[in-house]
Amino acid sequence: MTTIAAEAVQPAATAAKPLSPARIKETAREFESVYLQGMLEEMFANVEDGGLFDDGEGAKIWRSLRTEEFAKAIAHAGGIGLAEHVERHMISLQETTP
């Protein structure tokens, strides 16, 4: 019974493959984008649009999509420096993991 449990755990432990530098950079940028989206949502929370959709469900969806695109654009334009820190940390974790 012990060997079955050990075999069940082993594939999960060896399943982690090293990520390519490009994939690490992309993941770090995506993380920064999600972080920025949260910041921007808070920043725009009390700003009245008064635009096309007024204050209905359409406005909520529009604001959410717009904020997501703002965050992606900021992150891809260099962001606030968070992606570089995340990237370095991911690389160091990958180097120290057996």
The predicted structure's pLDDT at residue 57: 78
pLDDT for 95: 85
Q: Is the pLDDT of residue 71 over 50?
A: yes
For residue 86, the model assigns a pLDDT of 94
Does this model's pTM top 0.85? My answer is: no
Q: Check residue 6 and give its pLDDT.
A: 46
Which string of DSSP letters, residue by residue, matches 21-78? Answer: HHHHHHHHHHHHHHHHHHHHHHHHTT----STTTTSHHHHHHHHHHHHHHHHHHHHTT
Reported as a single tens digit per residue, the pLDDT across 7-60 is 444 444 545 688 899 999 999 999 999 999 999 999 988 877 666 666 677 778
Which of 62, 64, 45 lies closest to 54 in space, CA to CA? 62
pLDDT for position 55: 67
pLDDT of amino acid 98:
67
Res 2 pLDDT > 70: no
